[in-house]
Structure 1
Amino acid sequence: MTITGIAAIGAGLAAIAAGIGIGKIGSSAMEAMARQPEMHGKIQSSALILAAFVEAVALFGVVASLI
């Protein structure tokens, strides 16, 4: 296996991990909103910020694996 193949595997793992992380954030946010509907705005904004952080880490992982 060449270094390009290993980099592709690393980039793929970073993308899969980001998808799992965002799925968990969304699932937890939906459950929290169902339990406390009055906190909808705070939960939604927190979930969006956390999703942005997960995406940033995933992008860093993809770039690092391709370098």
Structure 2
Amino acid sequence: MPPAFVSLFLLTLVALTARRRRTWKPAGSVGYGRLGTPLNPLAVLWTGFELVNSCRPRNILAPAGAP
């Protein structure tokens, strides 16, 4: 399991939880304002998809019968 996708998925999940609890206090110069709340669930779905997609075995990388 690629650790980068796991960490991104957990980060977006925690951010979504904080937004739902209304405790999200973004720090930094980049902010999405009101657009951040609808984008956050999309980010959770996308990173979850990428996590599952990267873990799925592929025949082109490991042909049938390979050790």
TM range (shorter): 0.3 to 0.5
Structure of higher CA gyration radius: 2
TM-score by length of 1: 0.46
The structure with the largest helix share of the pair is 1
